[in-house]
Copies of this chain bind each other. A is one copy, B any other.
């Protein structure tokens, strides 16, 4: 399910966070469903439990997951805010990209064309 790229420059805990957030936002992980325990996931991915713990803590503080003592860790029921926030973050990144494109004299048309290309290319597909 979760793929970690050790050569990626981003820290592992961050990759974990994004991975889980993305799966939750996409509806791949339904609200209320249980996540593996820290130890379990650490064993599955052969990763230091501290790293898993860090990702879970961050996810909890973001409201993506919640912990029931003695029970386990679960995906939040209301993922609306998460989705909204991720979309907004994405749009902000897009704004930055557009700005840089303008500075490099990339035409609006070729930029939009590349977007369309990306949307059509991946339609239906589900890489990784």
Whether the pair B108, A97 counts as a contact (CB closer than 8 A) is no
Stoichiometry (number of copies): 4
A3 at the B interface (CB under 8 A)? no
Q: How many residues on the A side are at the interface (Cβ–Cβ under 8 A)?
A: 41
Whether the pair A114, B94 counts as a contact (CB closer than 8 A) is yes
8 A-B pairs with the lowest CB-CB distances in the bound complex, closest first: A98-B118, A108-B119, A6-B68, A26-B103, A95-B118, A7-B66, A91-B114, A102-B122
Known: A22-B100, A98-B119, A115-B115. 11 other contacts (CB 8 A): A7-B67, A11-B69, A12-B69, A86-B104, A91-B114, A98-B122, A99-B118, A102-B118, A102-B123, A111-B119, A112-B112
